[in-house]
Amino acid sequence: MAENKKYWKGIEELEQTSEFVDSSQKEFADYVPVDEFIGEQETDSSATNRRDFLKVLGFSVTAAT
């Protein structure tokens, strides 16, 4: 039996098209635009990274349940 099986999610990943490679490199952005959700803030630095956003989201879901 062959133990070195390789699986892919689509034909683009199998063929490694340029569009797929570009989109896979930008899959997880460091900056999440949360200004729409939070609203106006008094401070100028409202840049929130993905990890902080997920922490707040997880806390909110846990508190709601």
pLDDT of residue 12: 82
Which sequence spans correspond to the domains of the chain?
A: 31-65
Q: Would you put residue 32 in left (φ > 0), alpha (ψ -120 to 50) or beta?
A: beta
Q: What pLDDT does residue 42 have?
A: 53
Which residues, including other chains, have CB under 8 Å from residue 53's CB and lie 6 or more apart?
32, 34
Residue with the larger pLDDT of the pair 2 and 15 = 15
Q: Is the pLDDT higher at 62 or at 35?
A: 62
Q: Averaged over 6-30, what is the pLDDT?
A: 81
| Whether pLDDT at 52 is above 80 | yes
